[in-house]
Amino acid sequence: MSDIADRVRKIVVEHLNVDAEKVTEKASFIDDLGADSLDQVELVMAFEEEFSVEIPDDAAESIQTFGDAVAFLTKAVG
């Protein structure tokens, strides 16, 4: 697992208060990890801060799973 994935997982685990094992590639924040729509906004805010990037609204909406987030941030940071 990449460093980016580890940092994203840490944020998700802390914010949603879930076990790290549950945060898998396909895990949906809302359907699998118990997030509500406001949690999702907060996760995006936390990602922005952790990686010093700006995530536009349409991109934020497309980030539904842990894998989506890692893929987006890998591209944005790399």
Partner 1 sequence: MFDLTGKRALVTGASGGIGSEIAKALTAAGARVALSGTRVPALEAVASEIGGDSPILPCNLSDLEAVDKLVPSAEAALGGLDILVNNAGMTRDNLFMRMKNEEWDDVIAVNLTAAFRISRSALRGMMKQRFGRIINISSVVGVVGNGGQANYAASKAGLIGMGKALAQEVASRNITVNAIAPGFIASAMTDELNDKQREAIFSTIPAARLGTAAEVAGCAVFLASDAAGYITGHTLDVNGGMVMV
42 binds partner 1 (CB under 8 A): yes
50 binds partner 1 (CB under 8 A): no
Out of 2, 24, 26, 45, the only residue in the binding site for partner 1 (CB under 8 A) is 45
Please tell me the distance from the alpha carbon of residue 14 to that of residue 65, in angstroms, as a whole number: 16
Minimum Å gap between C-beta 42 and partner 1 is 6
Q: Which residues touch 63 (CB under 8 Å, ≥6 apart)?
A: 40, 44, 55, 69, 72
The smaller minimum CB distance to partner 1, of residues 7 and 15, is found at: 15
Burial level of 26, CB count in 10 A (0-12/13-18/19+)? Answer: exposed
- Our answer to whether residue 36 is catalytic in this structure is yes
Q: What 8-state DSSP symbol labels residue 78?
A: -
Q: Show which residues are catalytic.
A: 36
Residues that bind partner 1 (CB under 8 A): 38, 41-42, 45
